[in-house]
Structure 1
Amino acid sequence: MYIGLISDTHGVFADDVRAFLEPVDQIWHAGDFGTLQCARDIAAFKPLIGVHGNCDGLDVRQEYPAFQNFECEGMRILMTHIGLRRGSYWAFNPHQPMYDLRAKALLDSYHPDIFVCGHTHIPQVFSDKRNGFLFMNPGACGFQGSGDVPRLALRFHIVSGEISGLEKCELPRRSI
């Protein structure tokens, strides 16, 4: 399975993001779609698994849950929007990640192989050896945010319980 991983679109599914995700089989969205129309545009483009984020309205929350727990090619995936404690991502240490309390409860309950979140707009991929999973935050691919931080998206393959070919796409930030 070829996966595209995005987050924090904030209402914009831009053409350059679409081009990067064109070859994938499925898109995972880690929250803050921004609008239900944006979520529908992504779902019309490729099969979509997503969660709502803290900036999403009731319409998005009615369509997308706070977390998703699913399997893909022999791997257990847990996805939620807020994964790290507020402020901890600014001085982040992958050897001692400070997970949000709700995320930690989900992690303890589901024991995923991959934990996906968004929210920080900061891309991070690392192996959490203490908890036994791969942490993935794709950063933000929408136009909101600091002008010097690129928009980001990830894609990778999952085959028989193994991840390979991880690619990060950095796109210029520009005004809407």
Structure 2
Amino acid sequence: MKKIAIISDTHSFWDTKIYNLIHECDEVWHAGDFGYSEEIEQNIQKFNIKGVYGNIDGQEIRKRYSKTLRFYCEKVKVLITHIGGYPNKYRPEIKEEIEKYRPNLYICGHSHILKIMYDKKHNLLHINPGAAGKEGFHKVRTMVLLEIHGKEIKNIQVAELGPRVKSTKSIN
């Protein structure tokens, strides 16, 4: 059994809520748009993060990560990319990758929209963990936690990390 943290769209932002959840996990998977800072570099090394680069990532991240990642976690076949779409609305190159690789779990980021849904046509679980960073239009920062037991994906949880931006205005 492995505990997994799935995170995306951090845009160079990590806070104690993210650290506390990641420390409880065996593996951390990042679906792109890491951003880059000394802190991000330290986290990549400290947590041995598996992931892909996103559209905002520079050469520091692109040298380390690829556009797509395929691997097994226990007996679950995993595919991760940053920009991919959703069931029935996959980008053409991702649809082709899904049909060729036939993953059990497909993870993407980019949209900053949290979605967890089953794709009956391709027999896979689709997860977009939303955005854990503060850049973007999302209102709540999120990530996903789950467990992999052999070939089963269990105990999926959405972790709400707090508001994207703290408002300093009062509404009367």
Scaled by the length of structure 2, the TM-score of the pair is 0.89
Note if 1:170 corresponds to 2:147: no
Note if 1:56 corresponds to 2:57: yes
**CA gap 1:165/1:4 in 2 versus in 1, 3 angstroms:** same
- Structure 1 counterpart of 2:125, from 119, 122, 134: 134
RMSD of equivalent CA atoms: 1.6
Return structure 1 stretches of 4+ with deviation > 6 angstroms.
none
Q: Would you say the 8 A contact 2:139–2:165 is kept in 1?
A: no
Percent identical pairs in the alignment equals 35
Matches within 5 A, 1:14-25: 14-25=15-26
Residue matched to 2:140: 150
Name whichever of 36-45 and 73-82 sits farther off: 36-45
Supply the distance in 2 between the matched residues of 1:111 and 1:64 (Cα, whole angstroms). Answer: 21
Q: Which amino acid is 1:30 matched to? A: A
**CA gap 1:38/1:61 in 2 versus in 1, 3 angstroms:** farther
What is the SS of the residue equivalent to 2:62? helix
The Cα shift of 1:163 comes to 1.0
Q: Which amino acid is 2:161 matched to? A: L
The Cα shift of 1:47 comes to 2.6
Deviations along 1:136-169, one digit per CA (max 9) or x if unpaired, are: 11000001123x6100011110011101111111
Q: Would you say the 8 A contact 1:29–1:50 is kept in 2?
A: yes
Note if 1:117 corresponds to 2:105: no
Give the length in aligned residue pairs. Answer: 164
Q: Which amino acid is 2:30 matched to? A: H
Supply the distance in 1 between the matched residues of 2:97 and 2:50 (Cα, whole angstroms). Answer: 18
Residue matched to 2:4: 3
Supply the distance in 2 between the matched residues of 1:41 and 1:108 (Cα, whole angstroms). Answer: 36
Deviations along 1:27-80, one digit per CA (max 9) or x if unpaired, are: 000000011645423223423101000111122111110010000010100000
Residue matched to 2:28: 27
Name whichever of 29-38 and 124-133 sits farther off: 29-38
Supply the distance in 2 between the matched residues of 1:68 and 1:34 (Cα, whole angstroms). Answer: 18
Scaled by the length of structure 1, the TM-score of the pair is 0.87
What is the SS of the residue equivalent to 2:61? helix
Supply the distance in 2 between the matched residues of 1:23 and 1:112 (Cα, whole angstroms). Answer: 26
Supply the distance in 1 between the matched residues of 2:37 and 2:47 (Cα, whole angstroms). Answer: 16
Supply the distance in 1 between the matched residues of 2:136 and 2:24 (Cα, whole angstroms). Answer: 27
